[in-house]
Structure 1
């Protein structure tokens, strides 16, 4: 009983940690300013004049606009061939394995393993006020994005003995041009043109979403309340079990 109580207390700590992290994200979005692109360009020009050289401008803020191709042009997703500004894919193998338990009984179980998972390295641009700001996703995945492929291909030769391959599930997601996007990050001019990217401060908040700010803050507030209430319930349960176990 004490062991179960300790597990519940650890789970409560995890819930409280998630609640605090979610609350910080909400506060970061509410506190950040949302300058227009012309204002960002003006601020970058002032920073360049003051420093006597370009590449010194940095500002944590929100950037809102519609997605547009980077200078490399439109991309094409590898599996579905959809024109986009970003794409990702995942291939999973589904297979059967015959296993023997401790009592000598044999049964067949189905497993899934990831064969490959990758995303396009290039960023894209956000178009607003007739100007563009580059987006460096820093390896992050924008959310939510459109899934354009979800297909299961049965294996041509499942094989015999050992693992038996049933087939492969192929999924692909894309971010098309012209999609509204909200980004909270750090805008700088170190590459020349303005680019928004993950903050250099490791504790900074980076949000890359096709939802609006109000949708994001509303969702996060609901999640924060659920994590906090769940943590409180687990903490009470854990304490009761630990005390009951100690007294028994």
Structure 2
């Protein structure tokens, strides 16, 4: 038993260490990249395009400004039908499950199952006093987005197994074990302050900020850079302590397992 607990503690220590390194890497990335006015970034792009031609510009950068819809206009969130430039919804089904305990007795417990989880990838602008830059979120979730819905709706046995939440329609079949659905939704409204850290490039023919082409840190957040750095430093400290404690415990337990 001591051997298995020691091995488990060692695995936890490795995971904590990896998470601490990840947070430390994010801090270094945030501190090493300069926050630029959009106008300055556009000037860099124009100079590079003039020297080397279009399609080759790649610049790690940060911009801060107000979120604005792209030329197609604002989006509407699926559940709340709110005007926004980005939205994310998650629907979780709660249901009851029958199982047998260690004594063979039949019991019931509540479980959950995520039946819908989607965030938009539509580009939007970040605008400051010097201009506006198109940002492509891709699969990136926006940290600190406004949570506009967090509700539970009991299931009333609707016919046909079709559930409608706003403009979202889910076909789930007949599930008599369903208790209800948790609905969550986050939005980024037009005008909301956005901090974007990533890489600006013109491979698509226009200047766009998105995830670094060769991997790296990509952050879209409503928080300030200072707030993000403090949070990541707290993560480094917390995960580092966790790695140290579980690492020492794992070594001690493995030694005890070997000598006993």
* Structure-1-length-normalised TM-score: 0.93
Find the counterpart in structure 2 of residue 207 from structure 1: 219
Provide structure 1 residue ranges, at least 5 long, that are not aligned to the other structure: none
Deviation per residue, 1:76-122 (Å, 9 max, x gap): 11111111000111111111122233533111111111111112231
Residues 96, 177 of structure 2: 8 Å contact kept: yes
What are the within-5 Å matches in structure 2 for residues 1-248 of structure 1? Answer: 1-51=2-52, 53-157=53-157, 164-202=177-215, 204-248=216-260
Provide structure 2 residue ranges, at least 5 long, that are not aligned to the other structure: 160-174
Q: Quick one: distance in 1 between partners of 2:255 and 2:189?
A: 56
Q: Quick one: distance in 2 between partners of 1:158 and 1:234?
A: 49
Q: Quick one: distance in 2 between partners of 1:244 and 1:103?
A: 33
Q: Quick one: distance in 2 between partners of 1:105 and 1:6?
A: 33
Q: What SS does structure 2 have at the residue aligned with 1:14?
A: helix
Q: Quick one: distance in 2 between partners of 1:218 and 1:121?
A: 28
* Structure-2-length-normalised TM-score: 0.89
Aligned residues: 244
Residue 197 of structure 1: how far off its partner (Å): 0.3
Q: Quick one: distance in 1 between partners of 2:227 and 2:34?
A: 17
